[in-house]
Amino acid sequence: MDKIQLTGIRCYGYTGFLPEEQVLGQWFEVDLTISLDLVAAGESDCIEHTLDYRDAIARVKEIVKTQKYALIEKLATAIAKTILELDKVEQVRVQLSKPAAPIPDFGGRITIDITRSNVMQS
């Protein structure tokens, strides 16, 4: 399966379990791996035969900036659902990170990594 990777989508949002996270907000980083058939695009050189990734990036930013959830798992799922709505997308992997989670004495990042598919499983 062919893939398009979009990495380092960074935007400010208001998802978090703590009340202040939904008021003050914080930075989020999103990486997408989008699976789709790129054969026609490779042959034709026409954008109509591929995914216009500007649309995918805009959708991610819109969700992160406007939606408020308690859990980043929910935010990652919302991102996956909107990307799967795009034409030609068969599967999407969403890696959603909080680079500065408000946890005392923790300087790392928290990342949720989910994969969702439009393909019917039998």
Q: Tell me the domains of the chain and their CATH numbers.
A: 2-117 (3.30.1130.10)
Report pLDDT digits (tens) over 83-112.
999 999 999 999 999 998 888 898 899 999
DSSP 14-65: ---SSHHHHHH-EEEEEEEEEEE--HHHHHH--GGGS--HHHHHHHHHHHHH
Pick the catalytic residue from 3, 65, 68, 98. 98
Strand, coil or helix: 81: helix
| Predicted pLDDT at 46 | 93
Q: What is the pLDDT of residues 46-78, one digit of tens each?
A: 999 999 999 999 999 999 999 999 999 999 999
At residue 117, the 3 state secondary structure works out as strand
User: Catalytic: 98?
Assistant: yes
Q: Look up tokens 């400010």; give the residue.
A: 12
Q: Reduce the DSSP state of residue 121 to 3 states and report it.
A: coil
Both structure tokens of 52: 């216009």
3-state secondary structure of 71: coil
Give the pLDDT of residue 119: 66
Beta carbons of 17 and 82 less than 8 angstroms apart: no
